[in-house]
């Protein structure tokens, strides 16, 4: 199992709305994530500056990302999320996230 940490940046003024949307993620989006290997997946928000930190466990991150890239529900979800994000260089949020280096782990 790979443990993955990533970072994204939303517009701080949209933090409330981002949190609201993520409290009600569409059931078919959740199902697509489950089916493509996204497990123990959490997103943390720092409302002070809009920093997001994601953590997930997956058998294979590249396969998990490739799997979601084929799902129509993901295209709709990412289109809905696009206005929240900053500095993604024209990429979709799920393509633009910055993978972080794990420097410590204790089981």
Cα separation of 7 and 98, whole Å?
5
Cα separation of 92 and 46, whole Å?
21
3-state secondary structure of 10: strand
Q: Which residues contact 90 (CB under 8 A, 6 or more apart)?
A: none
Least distance in angstroms from the C-beta of 17 to a second copy: 11
* Span near a second copy by CB under 8 A; candidates 29-37, 58-66, 67-75, 81-89: 29-37
Least distance in angstroms from the C-beta of 90 to a second copy: 20
| Options 3, 7, 11, 22, the catalytic residue | 22
CB-CB contact of 80 with 24 (8 Å): no
Least distance in angstroms from the C-beta of 47 to a second copy: 7
Residue 105 designated active-site: no
Residue nearer to a second copy on the CB measure, 34 or 91? 34
What amino acid positions are annotated as catalytic residues? 22
């Amino acid at each position: 199992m790979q443990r993955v940490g990533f970072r994204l940046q939303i517009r701080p003024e949209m933090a409330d709305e981002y949190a609201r949307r993520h409290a009600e993620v569409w059931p078919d989006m959740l199902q697509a994530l489950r089916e493509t290997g996204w497990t123990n997946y959490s997103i943390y928000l720092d409302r002070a500056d809009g920093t997001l930190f994601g953590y997930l466990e997956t058998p294979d991150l590249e396969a998990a990302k490739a799997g979601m890239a084929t799902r129509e529900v993901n295209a709709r979800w990412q289109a809905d999320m696009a206005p929240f994000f900053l500095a993604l260089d024209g990429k979709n949020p799920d393509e633009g996230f910055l993978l972080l280096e794990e420097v410590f782990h204790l089981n």
